A and B are shown apart, each in its own frame.
Chain A
Amino acid sequence: MADDKDVLRDVWFGRIPTCFTLNQDEVTEREAEPYYLLLPRVSYLTLVTDKVKKHFLKVMKAEDVGEIWFEYEGTPLKWHYPIGVLFDLHAFNTVLPWSITVHFKNFPDQDLLHCSSNSVVEAHFMSSIKEADALKHKSQVINDMQKKDHKQLWMGLQNDKFDQFWAMNRKLMEYSTEEEGFRYIPFRIYQTMSDRPFIQKQFRPVSPEGKVHTLGILLKEMYPAAIPNEGEQKRYQAVIHGIEPLLETPLQWLSEHLSHPDNFLHICIIPVPTD
């Protein structure tokens, strides 16, 4: 019988086949071949694209190389969103491999954060984890951890070590038996159609009356349009890790099993394809 552990593995080892092509405006010495890579859904673009960078730098002059950034069909891709979120948000329901354009100039300062090194990613990742634990356990678990434990979380993500990461992360996913779940569920709801980057509010896994909150209840509260009214055509999909969980799925379970390594449940609301 499949176990919930399998869900964790499936989530961790999710990969998006990606084709990187160099932006045509870049000055190159010779034509750049596209570069094909399996990107971990749970990681970050700048963390896993050293090979891509190396590949394209081979055909470029050093003086033409600025900070690398990525773009998909005109949209600059925010490296500080997990890769899976970027894909689900912008390219779900499209043909694979995912075609990403690589830029080395004209960094869109308005849209993207700078990322000079992996330590910036690390800082971002750790601050997400801390924020999530503040919601879940009033920061008690993360504060009880030692520096090396924090490092283990980060190294686990960086080196794609599932065991290493989860040996530590499981503590972040625990809650006392007296409670029915986390204090608040760390979640973010993304949408392409809005200027707001994402929705994030305090939301408990169980109502004061003891009713279990489900994905449907969360969406109804946060993004009512995502739920079709009776007899209506479904207009939006709520996608997590490339799947559409049923609306009756308990939020606490989702948070424990379908959160990204940053401990947030990232939910993408995307329009149902019209064709």
Chain B
Amino acid sequence: MSGSSLEVRAGVCVRTPGAAMPVSLLWAVDVYGRVYSLSTAGQQWEHCRDALMEFKRVTAAQQCCWGIACDNNIYLNVHASDLSIRYQEETYENQRWNPVDGFSDRLLPSDRWQWSDITGLQHQPLDSFRLPSGSWEWEGDWFIDENFEGEPTEKGQGWTYSIDFPATYTKDKKWNSCVRRRRWLRYRRYKATDTWAKIPSQQSTLPDPFSDISCGGWELSEEPRGRLSLWAVSLQGKVWFREGIHHHNPEGSLWEEVSLPGEVVQISCGPGDLVWAVLWEGQLIVREGIGRDCPKGSSWVVVDSPSPDVGAIHVAVGMNVVWALTKDNKVWFRRGVNSHNPCGSGWINMVGEMLMISVGLNDQVWGIGCEDRAVYFRQGVTSSELSGKTWRVINVPRDGERSHSSASASSLQSAGCYFCGEVRGQSVASDVESDTEKGSTDGATGLVASDYPESLDAPADQTSDGPKPLIPKVTSDSFISELVSDRDSAKTAPSVLPEEDDVPGDGEVTAPSSGAALPQSQSGGPHDPQWSNVDLEEAQILQVQTGLVPESSDTCSLSSVATYTLAMEDQYGADEHPLWAWVSGGGCSVDTHSQLHWFNCSMNSSSLVQSVQSMSLSVSPAQTAAWRKQILEQLSERSKREMDNFRHYEQAIEQSVWVKKGCMQWWRDWKPHKWIDVQFALEQFTGPEGNKDGILFIYYNFCEEKKYLHAFINEITILVPVLNEAKHTFAVYTPERTKQRWPIRLAAATEQEMHDWLALLSVSCCDSRKIQGPPSKQAVWSITCKGDIFVSEPSPALEAMPYPTPCDQMFWRQVGGHLRVVECNSVGVVWGIGYDHTAWVYSGGYGGGFFQGLASSTDNIYTHTDVKSVYIYENQRWNPVTGYTSRGLPTDRYMWSDASGLHERTKTNTKPPSPQWTWVSDWAIDYGVSGGTDREGWQYAADFPASYHGYKTMKDFVRRRRWARKCKLTTTGPWQEIPPISLSDVTILPCATQSSSGVDVVPLWAISNKGDVLCRLGVTALTPAGTSWLHVGTDQPFKSISIGAASQVWAIAKDGSAFYRGSVSPQSPAGDSWYHIPSPAKQKLKQVSVGRTSVYAVDENGNLWYRQGVAPSYPQGSSWEHISNNVRKVSVGPLDQVWIIADKVQGSHGLSCGTVCHRLAVQPLTPKGQSWDYGIGGGWDHVTVRGNSMEPPRFRLPVLSQSVLQVKDVAVNGNAT
């Protein structure tokens, strides 16, 4: 039993690490109260078996799902994540000095508590801390925080000293230090993930149970992280708001009643600021005043029902949409709804008849059909067409319908002892614990039911218990209420039996309160003739219809089937499809690019498998198909047969030069620089050795004279697309042009034309260099500031001494995708991080993006998305009459501008970075600006331009605030997403030698975008995505991490201090503890990179530091040595080679920022090298050489001179230090 439930849980948990696609869930409840989820990547409804009782409703967010169970309690299912929910409790121990005892806990009467919070006002002894609910557990005991502001305290005791309370504290004890305090920490962890945990009810304030819930509001604010709004409706029509739900408090803290203009039957809360509810009388009410500071809103506005005669019965809201149903099941769409006008302007009648509707992420819509109770998906909903196009039925089997082996097992089991299942006992136990009242009413009902005359069509609510008569207010729910809320109907089933005298016993058995206490043998032994009769009959029906009796809801399905068998057989016959009661898309992320496999699966499992395979014709499954293999084999046989013996025959068509021409614009080389029209031609030919080559010609007019510029294809080192809103341009570099920092810049007429040319030129360049297929494991990866990804094949001489390949000769080719960080190692494990912090793993393909057709592999190319924000600033000046206004001085900057203030940027004229990006949100005030903001997002300063602060003073005459708007790129590339944890940095152990087996575990560490340190388990060359995260505890957030070849892990905290992780080894992949490493004087470090032995770090002022004195016995080293300035990023490789992104590199035509540079003369004995060699730039943001473990060819020097050389090296080294 426990084994199988574990297995199920693994199946239900969507966050299967290494899953290829970003996966999210659609939740639904069927009419029997069983909870199912359907993954966006999945093809079947997964039964949520750990729902120990029947549910009426669910409402989902991406991280969790809330539900109302049949006991009318609210349950929360937080999806498990490798990054656990961990809350840090803290309290302060305060002491005062006196001449007798020294420092002691004897404080003055006027002093604070001996144990207090940080302010000193709250008394907080260690034992006053309690776990908030049974879903939490302590992670360990209290401990002292030994560090203070990133520095270790004296003797690690954690004391900080001050003259008096309250004051500023320092870690140094001074002569006038009269008081001291230290911080105690303890972590508690939320343990009830991936299971339905009951939210403790507040009996005193909640007289009646809940009938509807809706969660949303996560777009309102990012602070606190993971904040949610949860609205609930009680059976008496009251509305409640759950306070205090956020990441660290998933259950929320308490219910607050919201005053109402009437009785509410149903409510819907969108991801943003929309909340609508339906009144009992059929009108709708809209919550106003919802905002970042007031998620609960302030008042209601009434909106009339869409139809004057028929009242509304259901409403569903999204970010910018409202859908409603009237009592005649008609579907309505509300026009003109947005943040500023939450009421919208008018109703439009839509096609279809629905029982309920749910609006999910991206305003996507699901509904339950009135006729067939199937789940429908609204197809074609886009930001420009919010009402979508058509309803499409989601036609996938439920998990039980395919697993026949388990089905037969469980139905056998249930046939034997139908009412005695342990599951049932558990489910009862769980709700009995607090609900004695309910237990007793149910017990009473049981007796009533047993007396009830036998009839199949008895309305369920006649048999129902106390609160029941209120339920049918919501018709869409009534069906399930009838069935689920009760075992009453279960009691009607046995009533068909001839033996009347057995019925009371049955009533007792099914009554929840007694069911738990009943011994199994008594309730359902096989010797009990009546029961076995019913059971077999039911089991047969069930087998025909679903092939499975789900064990957790046996009683329920028995009752339902007993009641509804006839109707269902009539309507649907043997090929039954599930009847749904409720659906929630709040956690389901679907957009126009999503490829869903929800619509084509038939119930027949064999045809399902077939269609699954063929759905993905152009991706991997096809690659391995037998038919494909056969075609490849036959083609190669054909070539042998028809061509091998006839190679000497003449070719029918002679190869010739092929010229492709076009018109472009060229940024001319001479001043004044400007775009001029040119003819552009690529001549391709086959060279003497059969190699392909070509020449690029640019024909232009100079003083009415025709001239041309040319570049040999085999000299081109990189083609860089430079898309902006004005022009579709790209840059062509050769080594010479790289030295000059002046590429050939060309502009095509359209984006498509530019992409065609780039793809063609790229293929030519690769052909001429005989580069094809995916990048090698040794490849050097880099990323531009536009997020474009480039890769270069290192020559063996790249790290050679004394004559390495100049780095401006490296050939870079583009790879599809959009990333901010890429890291690799020499066994071919490559990870990337997007601007939206999504983690990606390289799939082994090449091409993607605009490299379609020949320049791209067919397999291993996946949809790739990224989201980033565009910022504009609203600027205001104060004047004595009107205060702050948007009327500035004539000399002022634009009132709407970019960060510099030099360019006007209004909300309407600001466009996404390039046509490939589309807006995915509206403009919103950005409160996360460095320096802080006031409540309205303003930052104040004395004048433009100046440094801003987040509060107003007398001297401030100007203020500004930042607006952000998110835009999204959807492209393709050889990357697969690794959900769900967002990352800010990642590092992979650089292996010195290529491992041959491909199964060796590769250590990989990362920093989450919240600053958690993570260690990835299960990463190998064959499974580069790994399996799961191991959370490595820290007392402060981190921002950079690097692991060296000998498992040396170095990390930088957000406060700029460095740490070394001790005892990391294959046996202990996460190590044991952090050692603080002092930063270089007065510098805050920002990034670190560790190679074979070398440790380099970059600080926030652009200085590059080398760690001196690192030795195997003393891995922390002794001091930082300054190497260079103007460094933005460093990458140290497995050969200890050092590459950086440098700023301010001089070229013949000007300075360039963001240039890839290579440290020269780095040798085992001179790890710091001597000088820089400049490569491609500017505009580069990131480079990693951690895959290049190719030892340079060694010069065979005579033994004597070699030793001389070594001596010389030592001498140089000695001088330097």
The reply to whether B652 and A51 form a contact with Cβ atoms under 8 Å apart is yes
The reply to whether A4 and B858 form a contact with Cβ atoms under 8 Å apart is yes
Q: Mark B546-566, 1 if CB is under 8 A from A, else 0.
A: 000000000000000000000
Interface residues of A in 35-78 (CB under 8 A from B): 36-40, 43, 48-49, 51
Q: Which residues on the A side are within 8 Å of B632 (C-beta)?
A: 2, 6-7
The reply to whether A211 and B610 form a contact with Cβ atoms under 8 Å apart is yes
B631 at the interface (CB under 8 A from A): yes
The minimal Cβ–Cβ distance linking B217 to chain A, given in whole angstroms, is 32
The reply to whether A210 and B857 form a contact with Cβ atoms under 8 Å apart is no
A147 at the interface (CB under 8 A from B): no
Q: Which residue on A lies nearest to B684, using beta carbons?
A: A163
Interface residues on B, range: 35 or more
A1 to B857, CA, bound (A): 11
A181 to B616, CA, bound (A): 11
Interface residues of A in 117-165 (CB under 8 A from B): 158-161, 163-164
Q: Mark B826-865, 1 if CB is under 8 A from A, else 0.
A: 0000000000000000000000000011100111000000
The reply to whether B858 and A3 form a contact with Cβ atoms under 8 Å apart is yes
Selected interface stretch from B517-525, B595-603, B1193-1201? B595-603
A3 to B855, CA, bound (A): 12
B650 at the interface (CB under 8 A from A): yes
In-complex Cβ contact of B611 among A43, A49, A164, A210 (8 A): A210
With A6-B632, A177-B595 as given contacts, are A163 and B610 in contact (CB-CB < 8 Å)?
A: no
Q: Which residues on the B side are within 8 Å of A158 (C-beta)?
A: 653
With A37-B649, A167-B759 as given contacts, are A243 and B638 in contact (CB-CB < 8 Å)?
A: yes
B705 at the interface (CB under 8 A from A): no
The reply to whether A253 and B652 form a contact with Cβ atoms under 8 Å apart is no
B50 at the interface (CB under 8 A from A): no
A96 to B135, CA, bound (A): 79
B6 at the interface (CB under 8 A from A): no
The reply to whether B652 and A38 form a contact with Cβ atoms under 8 Å apart is yes
B534 at the interface (CB under 8 A from A): no
How many residue pairs, one in A and one in B, have C-beta atoms under 8 Å apart?
149
The reply to whether B635 and A166 form a contact with Cβ atoms under 8 Å apart is no
The reply to whether A243 and B631 form a contact with Cβ atoms under 8 Å apart is yes
With A17-B642, A17-B646 as given contacts, are A11 and B854 in contact (CB-CB < 8 Å)?
A: no
The reply to whether B653 and A159 form a contact with Cβ atoms under 8 Å apart is yes
Tell me the dominant secondary structure on chain B's binding face: helix
B636 at the interface (CB under 8 A from A): yes
Selected interface stretch from A188-196, A219-227, A244-252? A244-252
Interface residues on A, range: 35 or more
Q: Which residue on B lies nearest to A155, using beta carbons?
A: B658
Q: Which residues on the A side are within 8 Å of B84 (C-beta)?
A: none
In-complex Cβ contact of A241 among B607, B626, B627, B638 (8 A): B638
The reply to whether B635 and A211 form a contact with Cβ atoms under 8 Å apart is no
The reply to whether A160 and B655 form a contact with Cβ atoms under 8 Å apart is yes
The reply to whether B630 and A246 form a contact with Cβ atoms under 8 Å apart is yes
Interface residues of B in 594-649 (CB under 8 A from A): 595, 599-602, 607, 610-611, 613-615, 617-618, 622-623, 626-628, 630-632, 634-639, 641-643, 645-646, 649
Q: Which residues on the A side are within 8 Å of B595 (C-beta)?
A: 177
The reply to whether A15 and B630 form a contact with Cβ atoms under 8 Å apart is no
In-complex Cβ contact of A166 among B617, B630, B638, B854 (8 A): B854
A209 to B601, CA, bound (A): 9
The reply to whether B622 and A180 form a contact with Cβ atoms under 8 Å apart is no
The reply to whether A250 and B614 form a contact with Cβ atoms under 8 Å apart is yes
A271 at the interface (CB under 8 A from B): no
A167 to B601, CA, bound (A): 35
Q: Mark B1136-1154, 1 if CB is under 8 A from A, else 0.
A: 0000000000000000000
The minimal Cβ–Cβ distance linking B595 to chain A, given in whole angstroms, is 6
The reply to whether B652 and A43 form a contact with Cβ atoms under 8 Å apart is yes
Q: Which residue on A lies nearest to B635, using beta carbons?
A: A10
Q: Which residues on the B side are within 8 Å of A39 (C-beta)?
A: 652
Most buried by A among B607, B613, B638, B853: B853
A242 at the interface (CB under 8 A from B): yes
Most buried by A among B631, B636, B645, B853: B631
A115 at the interface (CB under 8 A from B): no
Q: Which residues on the A side are within 8 Å of B639 (C-beta)?
A: 10, 14
In-complex Cβ contact of B650 among A6, A51, A258 (8 A): A51
A30 at the interface (CB under 8 A from B): no
A248 to B595, CA, bound (A): 24
The minimal Cβ–Cβ distance linking B1131 to chain A, given in whole angstroms, is 30
A-B contact pairs, 24 of them (CB 8 A): A3-B857, A4-B858, A4-B859, A6-B632, A15-B646, A17-B642, A17-B649, A38-B649, A96-B641, A159-B653, A159-B658, A166-B853, A167-B760, A167-B853, A180-B614, A181-B617, A210-B599, A211-B607, A212-B610, A212-B614, A243-B634, A248-B626, A249-B631, A250-B622
Chain B residues packing against A (C-beta within 8 Å) = 593, 595, 599-602, 607, 610-611, 613-615, 617-618, 622-623, 626-628, 630-632, 634-639, 641-643, 645-646, 649-653, 655-656, 658, 660, 684, 756, 759-760, 763, 852-854, 857-859
Q: Which 5 A-B pairs have the closest CB atoms?
A: A210-B600, A212-B614, A17-B646, A170-B853, A243-B634
Chain A residues packing against B (C-beta within 8 Å) = 1-7, 10-11, 14-17, 36-40, 43, 48-49, 51, 96-97, 158-161, 163-164, 166-167, 170, 177, 180-181, 206, 209-212, 241-246, 248-250, 252-253, 256-258
